[in-house]
A and B are shown apart, each in its own frame.
Chain A
Amino acid sequence: MASEPTLSSAERYRPNSFVSLPAELDRSTFDVSPERRRAEAERLAIRARLKRQYQLQLHNPNPAPVIENPALTRWVYARTHNVYPTFRPTPKTSFLGLVFAIGPLLFWATIFKVER
C-alpha cells in the first residue's frame, strides 16, 4: 500500500449533516489573524449589547409583565406566517410536493380501490 498516503485518524474524520467537526480538528479555530479577532470582537459586542438589554429588563424594579424575546417572535413568524408569502413553485418544490403529497394520496386510493 505504498501508493496510498497514510492519514492520521484526525484527518480521516469526515463531518456530515449528522455529526459536526470538533473544534480541535477545525483549522479555522487555529486562525488568529487580526481579521478573525475583529470579527470575534464584533460578535462579542453584539452579544454584550443583547445581554445588557436583557439584564436591564430582568432586574427592572417596575418590571414589565413579560420579557418578550424578539428572536423567538421572529422565529415563530418565519416558520408559520412567512412560509406562504415566500413560497414559489419551482421544479424542485413542485416535484417534492408531487412525491410527498399527491403520490401517497393516489397510491393509497388505488390500493383501497383494488384490494377491497
Chain B
Amino acid sequence: SQMTQDMLPGPYPRTPEERAVAAKKYNMRVEDYEPYPDDGFGYGDYPKLPDKSHHERDPWYQWDQPDMRHNWGEPMHWDFDMYTRNRVDTSPTVVPWHIMRRHFLIFLGTMLVMFGIGGMYPSYMPVGPKQYPFNDLYLERGGDPNKEPPVVTHYEI
C-alpha cells in the first residue's frame, strides 16, 4: 500500500501539536479528536469514538458502503467489527435499561429463592403403598399354583 509511516497509527500524543497532527491523520477535527486514555493498554493515538453501533446510523443516507453504513476514509471505531449490524446493537430501548435489569433480577431472584426453598422443604401429594391385583401377584411372585393363594383385600367396607 502507498501509506507512509506517518500516516499509520503511532504512540499516544503528548503535546497539542502531536494531537493536531494525529487529528489530521485520522481525518477528524482537532476538537473532536480524543485519544484513548494512556493506560498502557496498547491503544496508542487511536481516537476514542462514541460507542454506537451501526444499527443507529442513518439507514437512508447514501453511505459509500451501505451494508457497513460506513464512508470511505471515515475513522473506524476500535470495535468496528463488534458494532456491525450482525452483532452488538446499542440502539436506545423503549424501557430504560436499569428498569429492565431490575425487573429481570427481581424475577430471577424470586424464582431461584422459591426453587431453593422447594428443594430444601419438598412437599408431595400423599401416596399409599401400591396395590397389586391377583392376590398381590401371587403366581407371578413364584407362588405354588396348586396351593390356594392367601386372600388379599385392599379395601375396607
Contacts and interface: CB of A to CB of B under 8 A. Distances in A.
Contacts of A116: none
B31 A39 contact: yes
Nearest to B2: A68
Interface string B1-42: 111000111111000000000000111110110000001111
Contact of A71 (B11, B27, B43): B27
Interface stretch (B72-80, B127-135, B139-147): B72-80
Interface of B is mostly: loop
A71 B75 contact: yes
Given A53-B72, A75-B78, A78-B43, 19 more contacts: A13-B96, A15-B97, A19-B93, A20-B50, A20-B91, A20-B92, A21-B92, A39-B32, A50-B71, A50-B72, A51-B71, A53-B73, A54-B72, A67-B72, A68-B1, A73-B1, A74-B7, A86-B43, A89-B40
Interface in A44-87: 46-47, 50-51, 53-54, 67-75, 77-79, 82-87
B41 A87 contact: yes
12 contacts: A12-B96, A13-B96, A15-B92, A15-B97, A20-B90, A50-B27, A50-B73, A78-B44, A83-B44, A90-B40, A92-B40, A93-B41
B154 interface: no
Given A20-B90, A68-B1, A82-B9, A75 B80 contact: yes
B42 A82 contact: yes
Interface string B61-84: 000100000011111101010000
Given A43-B29, A54-B72, A87-B40, A70 B3 contact: yes
A34 interface: no
Q: How large is the interface on B (under 10, 10 to 19, 20 to 34, 35 or more residues)?
A: 35 or more
